[in-house]
C-alpha cells in the first residue's frame, strides 16, 4: 500500500527522514518537503559530478574509473544556487536528507515533473527496506541545452510502499551502499 502524508510525518518523527520539512515548500523554488503521498528530497550543495568522455576509455561499472567524472562548481544567481548539467550528459548528486527505511517499507525515488519538462530525467531508484543514508542521485540531461540543477530545492520524490516484513533487509545483508554520507558514492561491487 502507498503511504500517505500522516504516515510519513509519523515515521519522520521516529527518524525516517532527517532533516524533515513537514509541508511542501513551493514558492519561488522547485518544491520540496512532505506532499500528499510522498516526500520531495532536496539536492545537496556539497557535491555534483558530471560524466566526461575520456577518449580510449570504456566506462565499466565493475571497475569504475573516477577519471570519467569532473566536479561541477556550485554557482549562484538571483534564482538561487545551482550546478550546470551539460546537454546530453549525465550527473551524480546527493540528497540533503538522510533516510532510514523501516524493515517493511521500500521507497521508490522518481523524478519531478518540473525538471522532466526541461528534459532532465532522474533515474528511477529503489530505496530498500532497512537502507540508511543519503541517496546518491543520478540525473540525465536529455535536452540539447545545458541545464541548471538547483541545490537546496526539490530534485526527486520518494513514494513509500508497505509490504509484508521481508526475510532479510538491506541492512541485514550488508548492502554495499548502506550508511552513505552526504557525498556522491560511486558504483561499487
Q: Is residue 186 part of a domain?
A: no
Pairing state between β 75-77 and 80-85: antiparallel
Decide which of 136 and 188 is more confident: 136
- Band (pLDDT 50/70/90 cuts) for residue 32 is very high
For residue 134, tell me if it sits in a domain. yes
- For residue 189, being part of any structural domain is answered with no
185 inside domain: no
Average pLDDT (14-29) is 97
- Whether 127 is covered by a domain: the verdict is yes
Q: What percent of the chain has pLDDT over 90?
A: 89
Q: Which residues contact residue 129 at a Cβ distance below 8 angstroms, ignoring those fewer than 6 apart?
A: 101, 102, 103, 104, 105, 106, 163, 166, 169, 170
Q: Cell for 185?
A: 558514492
| Catalytic option among 81, 128, 138, 182 | 138
Residue 178 lies in a domain: no
* Spatial separation of the C-alpha atoms in residues 138 and 150, rounded to whole Å: 14
pLDDT at 100: 98
- Do the beta carbons of residue 72 and residue 50 sit within 8 Å? yes
> What is the layout of strands, in order, in the sheet containing 147-150?
75-77, 80-85, 147-150
Calpha distance 182→173 (Å, rounded): 22
Residue with the bigger pLDDT between 46 and 68: it is 46
Q: Which residue has the cell 558530471?
A: 50
Which domain CATH number covers 41?
2.70.40.10
Residue 61 lies in a domain: no
Residue 54 clears pLDDT 90, i.e. is over it: no
Dump pLDDT digits (tens) for 86-121: 999 999 999 999 999 999 999 999 999 999 999 999
Q: What CA dihedral angle connects 12, 185, 138 and 168, to 10 degrees?
A: -60
Residue 18 annotated as catalytic = no
- What integer pLDDT is reported at residue 55 of this predicted model? 84
pTM for this prediction: 0.94
Residue 173 included in any domain: no
What does the pLDDT look like over 4-20, one tens digit per residue? Answer: 999 999 999 999 999 99
Predicted confidence at residue 65, as pLDDT, reads 87
- Model confidence at 189: pLDDT above 90: no
Per-residue pLDDT tens over the stretch 113-171: 999 999 999 999 999 999 999 999 999 999 999 999 999 999 999 999 999 999 999 99
78 confidence band (pLDDT: 50, 70, 90)? very high
pLDDT of residue 150: 98
**Into how many domains does the chain fold?**
1
Q: Tell me which residue range forms the domain holding 28.
A: 5-54+68-162
Mean pLDDT of 38-46: 98
Amino acid at each position: 500500500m502507498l503511504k500517505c502524508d500522516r504516515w510519513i510525518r509519523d515515521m519522520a518523527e521516529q527518524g525516517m527522514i532527517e532533516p524533515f520539512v513537514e509541508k511542501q515548500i513551493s514558492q519561488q523554488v522547485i518544491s520540496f518537503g512532505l506532499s500528499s503521498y510522498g516526500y520531495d528530497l532536496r539536492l545537496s550543495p556539497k557535491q555534483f559530478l558530471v560524466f566526461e568522455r575520456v577518449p580510449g576509455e570504456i566506462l565499466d561499472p565493475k571497475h569504475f574509473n573516477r577519471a570519467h567524472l569532473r566536479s561541477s562548481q556550485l554557482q549562484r544567481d538571483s534564482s538561487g544556487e545551482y550546478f550546470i548539467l551539460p546537454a546530453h550528459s549525465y550527473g551524480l548528486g546527493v540528497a540533503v536528507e538522510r533516510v532510514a527505511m523501516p524493515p517493511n517499507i521500500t521507497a521508490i525515488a522518481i523524478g519531478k515533473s518540473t525538471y522532466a519538462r526541461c528534459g532532465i530525467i532522474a533515474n528511477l531508484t529503489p530505496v530498500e527496506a532497512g537502507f540508511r543514508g543519503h541517496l546518491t542521485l543520478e540525473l540525465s540531461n536529455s535536452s540539447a541545452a545545458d541545464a541548471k540543477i538547483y541545490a537546496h530545492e526539490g530534485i526527486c520524490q520518494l513514494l513509500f510502499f508497505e509490504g509484508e516484513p521481508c526475510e532479510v533487509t538491506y541492512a541485514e545483508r550488508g548492502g554495499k551502499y548502506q550508511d552513505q554520507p552526504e557525498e556522491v558514492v560511486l558504483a561499487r561491487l
